[in-house]
Amino acid sequence: MRAGPVLWRLAALVLLLVFITKPQLFAFVFEPLTINNAPAIYNQGSLFSLTLAHLGTVFSAALASTIIAVTLGIFVTRPSGLEFLALSRSLVNIGQTFPPIAVLAIAVPLVGFGEKPTLIALFLYGLLPIFENTLSGLTQVSPLTLEAAKGMGMSPRRRLIEVELPLALPVILAGIRLSVVINLGTATIGSTVAAKGLGEVIIAGLQSNNMAFILQGGLVVALLAVLISDALMSVERFAARKLGQAPS
């Protein structure tokens, strides 16, 4: 990896950490965006705590989406599950068909306000990319490779664990990365149902007509998305190199 991109990523990470822990250092940057002596830096909570809560919600939903989507992808690529492929696609498409805000509206009466409805919305929204990439990764494994593994006496379970899943891993990881990055932005709507997260900063800015707050929340989410996407892409490339594949 070239030194230039690494330095830029490191600089972005340091800038983000300093901003969420010591935001008052950047007050002079946001003061021109305020009116009527409004505060330049979000003062209704800790940016650091809100960032951790935001990431916790996103990664919890991503973990649940990954477990369900990968398991379902494995099932429908087995001979016994092929007939359920169309049904499975329809089910995982539900999260993309209904806007997350609509899922929140349905979930709140069932589970109440807070983090739970947001987790449900993000879980459903994150299923499709992971499921489709799991299908792509498993179906792209060479039949010759599978025949060779079968000829070595491997059982179907061993072929799945030791051959298919490792070869499909880079593609599956790409789906997880896409799901996480999408939900980093989508999670901001969770604050409309009292879930802790960076959406609080953006909503506070909208309610008080304070562009400084809106920009702060948006910039932190954007930097998180770029840095996490880059980190997950590095994991994909590492996995691809280990398997002797050309990194995508």
Instruction: Return d(Cα 237, Cα 239) in angstroms, integer.
Output: 5
Per-residue model confidence (pLDDT) at position 2: 57
Neighbours of 99 (CB within 10 A): 14
Neighbours of 93 (CB within 10 A): 15
Tell me if 188 sits within 8 A of 40, measured CB to CB: no
Helix or strand run (H / E) with residue 189: none
- Give me 42's structure tokens: 């979000």
- Residue spans of alpha helices (H) in the chain: 3-21, 27-30, 47-76, 85-97, 100-111, 115-139, 143-151, 156-159, 165-186, 199-208, 211-242
- The whole-model pTM stands at 0.89
pLDDT per residue as tens digits for the range 194-215: 889 999 999 999 999 999 999 9
Per-residue model confidence (pLDDT) at position 241: 84
Tell me if 220 sits within 8 A of 208, measured CB to CB: no
Tell me if 40 sits within 8 A of 34, measured CB to CB: yes
Tell me if 122 sits within 8 A of 183, measured CB to CB: yes
Q: What does DSSP assign to residue 246?
A: P
Residue spans of the domains in the chain: they are: 46-242
Ranges of the chain with pLDDT below 70 = 1-4, 244-248
Per-residue model confidence (pLDDT) at position 200: 93
Per-residue model confidence (pLDDT) at position 150: 85
56 alpha carbon, distance to own chain's centre = 11
Per-residue model confidence (pLDDT) at position 105: 85
| CATH, range 46-242 | 1.10.3720.10
Tell me if 201 sits within 8 A of 50, measured CB to CB: yes
Instruction: Return d(Cα 201, Cα 226) in angstroms, integer.
Output: 19
CA distances from 33 to 37, 43, 220 (A): 10, 15, 17
Per-residue model confidence (pLDDT) at position 21: 94
